[in-house]
């Protein structure tokens, strides 16, 4: 677990560099502008669709019997509000993962691992497929678990678990795609998946810290890059520079 904490500490130091601070502005800004704009134009349509869906559900029939049918309307608003937060998060993290990770990896590798050989085990297609899989699974899990938000069940747990999944799935591939071979990546993933999830969980916690959460998309990229390249350096050192 020391390697997880070390990677997080190194990421905090790196994010204070002027080049990295400049990168932190764009992911959250793009995400906020995009989703606030969409909500401004489509909130009425979205809320009407959700309200109609809830009205026709078993839950709504129960509410009617309990003279609480009016809650269907407010439930639609609540569900939309709950859905917007992860969509903003997802968009900001995607911008950092897709557009900024090459700059982040280059920054970390040049300053901390200049002698680490690049074996280019990853591809642009692999990165795209990895991001697509992460988004689909994250979105699917969030939709499936939305009813739990209305009941209050697992509210403190769900965003952390899903955020941890999203962080580790999005950033682990791009953090290593330039430097690790395909075999090295598979070995590191098998050996370190649990610690990667813990790192993703710690980063997910930071989304609940005001102001600091603006840094988290880039901070996540830095943390997984530090973690991945350090693990790769140890793997090569243990094997004399080669996989056995």
CB atoms within 10 A of CB 111: 10
Sign of CA dihedral 41, 44, 47, 48: negative
Q: How confident is the model at residue 43 (pLDDT cuts 50, 70, 90)?
A: low
Percent of the chain with pLDDT over 70: 76
Distance in Å from the first CA to the final CA of the chain: 25
Within its chain, how far is the Cα of 56 from the centroid?
34
User: What pLDDT was estimated at residue 33?
Assistant: 84
**Cα–Cα distance measured from residue 224 to residue 219, given in angstroms and rounded to the nearest whole number:** 9
User: What pLDDT was estimated at residue 243?
Assistant: 43
Q: How confident is the model at residue 222 (pLDDT cuts 50, 70, 90)?
A: very high
**Cα–Cα distance measured from residue 116 to residue 236, given in angstroms and rounded to the nearest whole number:** 9
List, for residues 126-150, the tens digit of each pLDDT value: 888 998 898 889 888 877 877 776 6
18-26 own/partner pairs: CB under 8 Å, 24+ apart: 19/103, 19/107, 20/104, 20/107, 20/218, 20/222, 23/96, 23/100, 23/103, 23/104, 23/218, 24/214, 24/215, 24/217, 24/218, 24/219, 26/95, 26/99, 26/100
Q: Which pair of structure tokens corresponds to residue 109?
A: 């590798």
Most confident of 88-92, 105-109, 209-213: 105-109
- Write down the pTM of the prediction: 0.79
Q: How confident is the model at residue 214 (pLDDT cuts 50, 70, 90)?
A: confident
pLDDT exceeds 60 at position 76: no
Q: What angle do CA 201, 3, 206 make, to 5 degrees?
A: 30
| Residue predicted with more confidence, 165 or 211 | 165
What is the pLDDT averaged over residues 8-13? 94
**What residue ranges do the domains of the chain occupy?**
2-36+82-238
Closest CA relative to residue 22, chosen from 133, 96, 87, 86 = 96
List, for residues 14-28, the tens digit of each pLDDT value: 999 998 988 888 777
User: What pLDDT was estimated at residue 180?
Assistant: 93
User: What pLDDT was estimated at residue 139?
Assistant: 83
């Amino acid at each position: 677990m020391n390697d997880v904490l070390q990677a997080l500490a190194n990421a905090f130091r790196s994010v204070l560099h002027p080049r990295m601070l400049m990168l932190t502005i764009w992911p959250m800004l793009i995400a906020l502008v995009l989703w606030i704009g969409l909500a401004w134009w489509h909130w009425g349509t979205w809320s009407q669709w959700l309200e109609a869906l809830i009205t026709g559900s078993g839950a709504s029939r129960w509410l009617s019997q309990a003279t609480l049918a009016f809650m269907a309307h407010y439930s639609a608003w609540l569900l939309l509000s709950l859905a917007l937060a992860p969509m903003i998060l997802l968009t900001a993290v995607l911008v950092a993962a897709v557009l900024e990770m090459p700059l982040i990896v280059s920054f970390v590798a040049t300053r901390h691992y200049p002698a680490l050989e690049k074996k280019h085990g990853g591809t642009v297609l692999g990165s795209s497929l990895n991001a697509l899989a992460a988004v689909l699974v994250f979105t699917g899990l969030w939709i499936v678990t939305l009813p739990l938000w209305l009941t209050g069940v697992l509210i403190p747990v769900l965003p952390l678990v899903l955020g941890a999944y999203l962080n580790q799935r999005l950033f682990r591939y791009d953090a290593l795609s330039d430097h690790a071979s395909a075999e090295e990546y598979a070995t590191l993933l098998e050996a370190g998946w649990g610690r990667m999830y813990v790192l993703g969980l710690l980063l997910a916690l930071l989304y609940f810290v005001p102001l600091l959460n603006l840094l988290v998309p880039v901070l996540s990229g830095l943390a997984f890059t530090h973690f991945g390249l350090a693990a790769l350096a140890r793997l090569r050192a243990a094997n004399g520079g080669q996989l056995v």
